[in-house]
A and B are shown apart, each in its own frame.
Chain A
Amino acid sequence: MSKNFLATFLLLFFILQANAQLGVMKLVGNGTKDYKMGFGAFIKTGFPVLEGSDITLEIGADYFPSDDVDGTAMCPLKAGYRYTLNGTGTGFYLEPQVGYNVYGVTSLQDKNGQDIDLKYHGVIFAAGTGYLFSISNISFDINLRYETVIAHGGSNNLVSLGISKAFSFGRRETEY
């Protein structure tokens, strides 16, 4: 029941106000040299809480192809606090995030060539920075973040560069 309620809430929430974001990303750290550049798609929204600050909510899907295995995919759900440095809701901002990896899977082949899927969840911590701006009344958000997913005593660490239209669930004088 609670899961259905949460899913319905999130669906309505994102349908109403969220905008899409695309990103390229790279897994970093031990055991990641076989992974190619990854990519992800996100939907994200935010509530203004203070002048120039938002509580953000983001759900996405990341995929990292690999040279010799099928790759790794993760679906992070994160909440964050986006704080614009000049306090206006535009320009440079910082955004720490915490969340949960709703679904993660790494596909491998064993020595007999059989596929094995390693499935995991895990907590997520991220810190990002970005720049909110507009061109011809179209708002954009270019962002860079470092993110780590912790599970089973290990961590998947990634650096991501993303771009999206800016967004806000509520209103402030400058619409970002």
Chain B
Amino acid sequence: MKFYLYPIIAIMLFSSCLKQSIPDAMLGSKNSGNKNATLSYKINGNDVNISVPGADYQNSYGYETLSCSKSRNYYSLGGVSNTGEIVFTFYTDSLTVGVYRRAFAYDDPFVAEYNGINGYIYAASDSITVNITSYDKGHISGNFAGVLTPVIIAGNPDNTYGTASSVLITNGSFKNVPVFY
């Protein structure tokens, strides 16, 4: 009898040492090391850097400086800096490692703001591509680049756009960005 009991007790003690419940492990948003999340890119040559220590706990405050949030049918990767913000939407139910590209499709999605100038995917030559290279324990890392068109005069219902594809986003990268559910 002892032969059967001892290994099972040993396995249970081992499993009890697992620091997360199954839901937390699936979400990866708690007890996973409280990582430092970063996002950086150049927008028309100007550096933008976002770094959030303890990024796993941003959700407690109701908003996030840098995160990827899941809604029913999409995920939204967003970062806010003192010069503006950037946002990218992954239209998928289940985010995985891979390349996600958003191109011109008549819906003119907002992508980035820099010093009050908003960049949209507006012209046929506009796009943004995000490559998720790692998705581990609820944190994503990767890189991105894009071409946008600036809004000169914001209007309702129509914006007035500037020179097509004149906003260049280059050298974009992000690391350890928490995915919130």
Contacts and interface: CB of A to CB of B under 8 A. Distances in A.
Interface of A: 27, 29-32, 53, 72, 81, 83, 94, 96-98, 104, 106, 108, 110-112, 114, 116, 118, 120, 122, 125-127, 146-157
B5 A31 contact: no
Contacts of B20: 30-31, 153-155
A106 to B, nearest CB: 4
A118 B100 CA distance: 24
A148 B26 contact: no
A55 to B, nearest CB: 11
Contacts of A118: 22-23, 26-27
A30 B22 contact: no
B72 A120 contact: no
Nearest to A94: B5
Contacts of B59: 111
Given A122-B22, A146-B12, 4 more contacts: A94-B5, A96-B5, A127-B8, A148-B15
Interface in B9-35: 9, 11-12, 15-16, 18-27, 30-31
Given A31-B30, A112-B71, A155-B18, A125 B12 contact: yes
B23 A108 contact: yes
A160 to B, nearest CB: 13
B16 A29 contact: yes
Contact of A154 (B4, B12, B22, B70): B22
Interface size class of B (residues with CB under 8 A): 20 to 34
A150 B24 contact: no
Contacts of B12: 125-127, 146-148, 157
Nearest to B71: A112
A71 to B, nearest CB: 11
Interface of B: 1, 4-5, 8-9, 11-12, 15-16, 18-27, 30-31, 59, 62, 69-72, 137, 180-181
17 contacts: A31-B21, A32-B21, A81-B4, A94-B1, A94-B5, A96-B5, A104-B22, A126-B12, A149-B22, A150-B15, A150-B18, A151-B25, A153-B25, A153-B137, A155-B16, A155-B18, A155-B20
Contact of B1 (A81, A106, A126, A154): A81
A154 B26 contact: yes
A162 B134 CA distance: 44
A110 B72 CA distance: 9
A152 B22 contact: yes
Contacts of A157: 12, 15-16
B138 to A, nearest CB: 10
Contact of B22 (A97, A111, A120): A120
Contact of B181 (A104, A108, A152): A108
Contacts of A114: 71-72
A53 B12 CA distance: 22
